[in-house]
Amino acid sequence: MQIPGFFRQGQQWLIKTPERALDQAYEAAQMIDALEKEYFSGNPIAPQYGNYGESAQAYFQGELKKYLKLIRFRLVEFRASSSIVRVSGPRITEIQIPSPDQDNLTIDLIDKPAVFFRKLRFIDDVLARYKTLEPPAVERTITLSEAESQTPLRPVSNVSALQAANGRNGKLAPPKAPSEVAAGLEETPNRADALSDRANVLPRSILRTVDRIRQDLDPQAEQQVVKNFRSSKAKTTTAVKFVLLLIIVPLLTQQFTKNFVVGPIVDTVRDRTHAEVFLNLEMEEEALHELQQFEERLRFEVLIGKAAPMPEREIEATVREKATEIEEDYRHRSADAVKNLFADIAAAGAFALLLISRKQEVSTLKGFMDEIVYGLSDSAKAFIIILFTDMFVGFHSPHGWEVLLEGLSRHLGFAANREFIFLFIATFPVILDTVFKYWIFRYLNRISPSAVATYRNMNE
Tens of pLDDT along 34-44? 888 888 877 88
Residue 136 falls inside a structural domain: no
Same structural domain for residues 306 and 386? yes
**DSSP letters spanning 242-280:** HHHHHHHHHHHHHHHIIIIIIHHHHHHHHHHHT--S-SS
Residue 339 falls inside a structural domain: yes
The residue out of 220, 250, 277 marking a domain boundary is 220
Query: How many Cα neighbours within 13 Å face the side chain of 109?
Result: 3
Same structural domain for residues 91 and 7? yes
Whether the CB-CB separation of 309 and 302 falls below 8 Å is answered with yes
> How far, in Å, CA of 4 to CA of 11, rounded?
10
Same structural domain for residues 118 and 185? no
Same structural domain for residues 247 and 165? no
Residue 139 falls inside a structural domain: no
The residue out of 96, 131, 166 marking a domain boundary is 131
Is residue 132 very low, low, confident or very high in pLDDT (cuts 50, 70, 90)? Answer: low
pLDDT at 128 over 90: no
> What is the structure's pLDDT at 110?
52
> What is the structure's pLDDT at 205?
65
Domain that holds residue 155: 144-220
> What is the structure's pLDDT at 370?
83
Same structural domain for residues 364 and 273? yes
The residue out of 170, 203, 220 marking a domain boundary is 220
Same structural domain for residues 257 and 347? yes
pTM: 0.52
> How far, in Å, CA of 83 to CA of 21, rounded?
13
Neighbour tally for 82: CB within 10 Å: 16
Which three-class secondary structure state does DSSP give residue 408? helix
> What is the structure's pLDDT at 116?
78
pLDDT at 19 over 80: yes
> Which is more confidently placed, 133 or 57?
57
Same structural domain for residues 125 and 235? no
Same structural domain for residues 247 and 386? yes
